[in-house]
Amino acid sequence: MKQMAAVALGLALGMMTNGTALADTFGTGANTFTIDFVNVGNAGNADDAGAGGGSYSTPYGGVAYDFRIGTYEISQDAITKATASGMTNVTAGAWTGSQPAAEITWWEAAAFVNWLNTNTGHQTAYDLTYSGGWSLSLWSSGQAWQAGGENLFRNKDAYYFLPSEDEWYKAAYHKDDGVTANYWDYATGSNTAPTAVGSGTGTGTAVYNNVTSSPAAVNNNGGLSPYGTMGQNGNVFEWNESASSEGPAVRGGFWAGTESLLRSSTRFNLDPTDVLNDIGLGFRVASIPEPSTAAFMILIPVGAWSLGRRRSRSL
């Protein structure tokens, strides 16, 4: 039944074209802001097993459903405007304006995602509590989403969420060539290391190798992945949901890091309270696409459209 629900979801969301940019709006009044998303299709692709002709791989990236992921990392401006619109206990603040929200804990990233959901009338993704510090409770099986495997961290009815490691990896490294196990070594659609730059959007570039003394603006930080995301290599490390017993993973490298941090084979598990001062931990948001209501009603039983995949693997 779980696999059938995932297949049905893939069919329904298959109406959305890969790479199509969609912007969602949040906040109020002068504090309104948007998040741009791209669609990640090819539902049912296999994990990376080194089949893409490159030198690096980890067994991630297989996702049984279509989803959206943020075109860009979340900016400090988005954090500032969300706070002015009622969000609490999320600061970040290492940088300003259109630079990424960095030196942010996993807790704060998850709380921002929860606020995106409540600001738009959706169910929170994570059962968080703040009382001088953060804590998280797991959802029950009936509340957790199931497609692709039970994920007790993420609520089945959440619309926005932190990308799981599979979702993040696919958006960064998959070749976007159908339901395949073919992946690139780098998040610029290449097995050749990106050209290091301080800013810009040139094909095959990324902000790394200490070319700049701080991260670039989130919409000006390198070339695109095959699905159309920017900056999944370099600029700032990005938190993944990592719904498992190990600490949440970060991937992608940062502005002062070396080439080895950009590779698909590089991942780190951190404590959710880490901020990595002077290095920068940021994040991007993932989401369910918006196919027609009719498609959902015809293809997907109530509750079966929730997304998620649970992994507990490490290198």
In tens, the pLDDT along 41-64 reads: 999 999 999 999 999 999 999 999
Distance between CA atoms of residues 40 and 167, nearest Å = 9
Residue 95 lies in a domain: yes
pLDDT tens readout for residues 100-117? 999 999 999 999 999 999
Residue 315 lies in a domain: no
DSSP string, 144-202: EE-BTS-EEEEETTBSEEPPPHHHHHHHHHB--SSS---B-SBTTTBSSPPEE-SSB--
Tell how far CA 224 is from the center of its chain.
Answer: 15
Segments of the chain with pLDDT less than 50: 1-17, 292-315
Residue 254 lies in a domain: yes
Burial annotation 81-103 (CB, 10 A radius, 16+ → b, else e): bbbebebeebebebbeebbbbbb
Residue tagged 């067994």 (tokens): 59
Cβ contact 286:151 at 8 Å: no
Residue 176 lies in a domain: yes
Cβ contact 195:166 at 8 Å: no
DSSP string, 204-230: TEEB-TTSSSSPPPTTSBBPBPTTS-B
Residue 310 lies in a domain: no
| Domains identified in the chain, total number | 1
Q: What is the per-residue pLDDT for 265?
A: 98
Distance between CA atoms of residues 310 and 35, nearest Å = 26
CATH number at residue 90: 3.90.1580.10
Cβ contact 232:225 at 8 Å: yes
Distance between CA atoms of residues 42 and 11, nearest Å = 10
Q: What is the per-residue pLDDT for 223?
A: 97
Q: What is the per-residue pLDDT for 108?
A: 96
Report, in angstroms and rounded to the nearest whole number, the Rg of the chain calculated over CA atoms.
18
Which residue type, as a one-letter code, is found at position 173? Y
Which residue type, as a one-letter code, is found at position 98? S
Residue 307 lies in a domain: no
User: Which domain, by its residues, includes 52?
Assistant: 2-28+36-299
Residue 57 lies in a domain: yes
